[in-house]
Structure 1
Amino acid sequence: MLAVATGVLAGLAGAALMVLLHATAHLTYSYRSGDFLTAVEQAGAARRVVALAAAGAVAGIGWWLLRWWTGPGGSEVSTALWRDEGRLPLRRSLGTAVLSVVIVGMGASLGREAAPRLTGAALASRLSDWAHISTAHRRLLAACGAGAGMACVYNVPLGGALLTLEAMLGVLSLRLALPALVTSCIATAVSWTVLPTGPTYRLPNVGVSASLTVFAVLIGPVAGLAAVGWVRMIRIAHRHRPTGWRLLVMPLLVFTMVGVLAVPYPQLLGNGKDIVQLTLGAQLAAPALVALLFLKPLATAGSLGSGASGGLFTPTVATGALLGSLAGQGWTHAWPGPAAGFAVIGAAAVLAAAMQAPVAAVVLMLELTRTIDALMVPLLFAVCGAMLVSRRLDTPSIYSVRLPAQ
Structure 2
Amino acid sequence: MDKGVNPVVEELLHRHSPKFYGMKEVYRCIHQENFITKAELLKRTNMKQTTVVRHLDALKEYGLIRIASYDESSGGRPPALYAIEPEAAFIIGIALSRVETTITIVNMSFQPVASETFQMTEKHTPSHTISLLKETIASLLEEHHIDINALLGIGIGTVGPLDRKKGIMYPEGFVAPGWHKVAIVEEMKKTFQTDIFLENGANTAALYESLRNHGGNKTILYCISGWGLRCGVLANGAIMQSRKGDASSFGEMIIDVSSGRTLASYISYHQIATEVVRMIKASERKTDFYPDLNDNKNEIMEYVLEELKKGNSVIENVVLESAYYYGIGLANMVNILHPEVVVLNSELIHVYPAYYHKVIHTAEAFIFQNHQQEPLFQQAEDAENPISVGACALTFQSKIG
Give TM class, smaller chain: under 0.3
> What TM-score do the two structures reach when normalised by structure 1?
0.25
> What TM-score do the two structures reach when normalised by structure 2?
0.25
Greater share of helix:
1
Greater share of strand:
2
Asked which structure has the greater CA Rg, the reply is: 2
